[in-house]
Structure 1
Amino acid sequence: MKMGFRWYGEGNDSVALNHIKQIPGVETIVWALHDLQAGAEWPMDQIQEVKRQADQYGFNIDVVESVNVHEDIKLGSPTRDQYIENYKRTIEKLAKVGVKVICYNFMPVFDWIRTDLYKAHEDGSTALFYETSKVDDIDPMELVNKIALNPDFTMPGWEPERLENITNLFEAYKNVTEDDLFNHLQYFLEAIIPVAEEHDIKMAIHPDDPPWSVFGLPRIVTNQENIRRILKLVDSPYNGVTLCSGALGSSRSNDVVAMVREFADRIPFAHVRNVKVYENGDFIETSHRTEDGSVDIVGIMKAYHEFGFKGYIRPDHGRHIWDEQCRPGYGLYDRALGIMYLLGAWDALNQ
């Protein structure tokens, strides 16, 4: 198991590399070029600059999260081929600096969805929160405007350039079914997996967050059956999944431990985090500790350990604690605590 930490880059993150260096066990920076729009070919000089920065502190840059997929690919538009060609060239460039895994998602319009970025816990910490009734009743533009009120940090999946055309995007997806989305994903995978195989980079699709349809949009990376179907679209070890325990665990019908056991050899990268799910479907991010949420984090780590997992792993969304000013969900302190909890569980299993 190789421990990583997501980093948004110099000038775009409250967390510095020298701080990450002080977290025991971290060897991988999980990164991306967040200033580029989905569909763009990544410039080699910018890729090399991230490598130079990571090299200063002895980190590898083996995992990229994410090379975003253009909406035209998800929609199956005639223009998708040009964006797929850009994606192929980006894979080729990333291989030159040693990248081994590309995490991506196939969620229409939105990436993750929350209704509150700073919901208070009883202990005074705050965290990302999803309130079902608000999503059911809110106009999507209201949610867009609320997320945009966080001016200090760009929110991945909520970039202004991506969302300024939201009305047209909803219209474009009006007649797109889940089966259509599966077909469009297969077209994408059939084009890029041979390139990924040639350059020894594993593609790892991230589950939808939350794992159900929101605002009537189709979503397909939602449960064990659908992940099984996705892995069979192109049956290659280079077509994998980023198994995110928090995204999948926000649905009570998902058994994340069972998914680890079934898909372990197709999980090159894992997010391990906890959420507390309420009876009405609301959920909130918690500490990584099993008893603080609804996800069996220790059971998940045990399943990875039984398999002899040698892939990459990182803590995911953390709470905002000790008055830290940071990108929502991505501060230093609680994610560092999460790493120590995960490594502690791993060490205990090794004994």
Structure 2
Amino acid sequence: MKMVFRWFGEGNDSVSLNYIRQIPGVEGIVWALHDIPAGEEWPMEKILEVKKQADVYGLNINVVESVNVHEDIKLGLPTRDYYIENYKRTIEKLAQVGVKVICYNFMPVFDWVRTDLYKVLKDGSTALFYEHEKVMNINPLELVKMIADNPKFTMPGWEPERLKELTNLFEAYQNVTEEDLWENLKYFLENIIPVAEVNGIKMAIHPDDPPWSIFGLPRIITSRENIRRFLNLVDSQYNGITLCSGSLGANPKNNVPEIIREFADRIPFAHIRNVKVYENGDFIETSHRTCDGSVDIFEVVKAYYECGFTGYVRPDHGRHIWDEQCRPGYGLYDRALGIMYLWGIWDSLERMSKEGRL
């Protein structure tokens, strides 16, 4: 596996490239142009600027997360072709600087959703927390009114620029079913994947987080069965999955190691993190250690090892420890600890294999 580390750019990230290169085994950064709105073509000069910054520290920029998909594409509006053409041109530009994988998602309106960014764990650290009942009991129309009455109101994982158009988006999705979303995703893939193939870039969709419908909006990349259906929409090695153990692991019905074993050849990029899931549907993100959460991280790494995985891996969200001031979920300390835990498992598996004990 090739270890990489997410970086939000100079001025936007408390973790410097100099620190990242000091984490054992890290080869590159996972990056994006976060100031470019969804649907716009990425400027080449900005892409080259990131490459130049990474080159100074000997880090590659092989993985992009994310080139966001415009809502008109998800909704299947006539304007989607304009945004798809922009997406194609961005793929072509990224290929020119050596990008190998583009992570993206197809979640309507919202990306990941949490209800508390700093929930306190027993050891005094804090982490991202999801309160199931709170989310499921929010009426979208009431939500819009809450935002209108209090412009400062938000929830973790929501992009501020999207909140401004929240009312229109909820109305637009009112009659969009899961099957409609599947059809719109298929249209997107049929247009994008041929361009990705020509340019040697693997597209890797991220599972929905959490992996179920919220606020009455359809979500479809949620389970083993749906991943299988997704990969069959366009059966190409360039149409793949960003396998996130934390997103899928929030639903105890998802056996993450089994999912890895079935789709290993279609996973160019992996997020590995742990979550503690409670019986009421709440979950909190924990350290990477298997015993701290509900996802068997040892078995996750073992599945990748036994499948001969050579793709890219990053530690996903970490706790906030040692009074670090950082972007929620994206500090240096706990993610670096997570990397060493993952390497420890990997190196142990490698030794056991050489000694015939695996």
TM-score category (smaller protein)? over 0.9
Provide the secondary structure at the position in 1 that maps to 2:118.
strand
Matches within 5 A, 1:1-351: 1-138=1-138, 139-141=142-144, 158-351=158-351
Q: What per-residue deviation string (whole Å, max 9, x for no partner) do you get for residues 24-67 of structure 1?
A: 01001000000111001000000000000000000000000000
Contact 2:289 2:341 in 1 (8 A): yes
Paired with 1:106 and 1:202, the residues of 2 have a C-alpha distance of: 16
**Which amino acid in structure 2 is aligned with residue 309 of structure 1?**
F
Paired with 2:300 and 2:28, the residues of 1 have a C-alpha distance of: 21
**Which amino acid in structure 1 is aligned with residue 268 of structure 2?**
P
CA separation of 1:147 and 1:214: change in aligned 2, threshold 3 A: farther
Q: What per-residue deviation string (whole Å, max 9, x for no partner) do you get for residues 210-250 of structure 1?
A: 00000110000000000000000000000000000000000
Paired with 1:234 and 1:137, the residues of 2 have a C-alpha distance of: 36
Q: How many residues align?
A: 346
Q: Offset at 1:263?
A: 0.3
Q: Offset at 1:22?
A: 1.1
TM-score where L is the length of structure 2: 0.94
**Which amino acid in structure 1 is aligned with residue 16 of structure 2?**
A
Q: Which has the larger radius of gyration?
A: 2
Q: Offset at 1:146?
A: 9.7
Paired with 1:147 and 1:78, the residues of 2 have a C-alpha distance of: 33
Provide the secondary structure at the position in 2 that maps to 1:169.
helix
Paired with 1:243 and 1:19, the residues of 2 have a C-alpha distance of: 26
Instruction: Give the fraction of aligned pairs with identical amino acids, expressed as a percent.
Output: 75
Contact 1:65 1:102 in 2 (8 A): yes
**Which amino acid in structure 2 is aligned with residue 102 of structure 1?**
I
Q: Offset at 1:163?
A: 2.0
CA separation of 1:240 and 1:148: change in aligned 2, threshold 3 A: farther
Paired with 1:80 and 1:263, the residues of 2 have a C-alpha distance of: 29
Paired with 2:171 and 2:300, the residues of 1 have a C-alpha distance of: 40
Provide the secondary structure at the position in 1 that maps to 2:326.
coil
Structure 2 unaligned regions, length at least 5: 352-358
Structure 1 unaligned regions, length at least 5: none
CA separation of 1:227 and 1:143: change in aligned 2, threshold 3 A: farther
Paired with 2:319 and 2:152, the residues of 1 have a C-alpha distance of: 17
TM-score where L is the length of structure 1: 0.96
Paired with 1:29 and 1:204, the residues of 2 have a C-alpha distance of: 16
Q: Offset at 1:347?
A: 0.3
Q: Offset at 1:147?
A: 8.6
Contact 2:113 2:158 in 1 (8 A): no
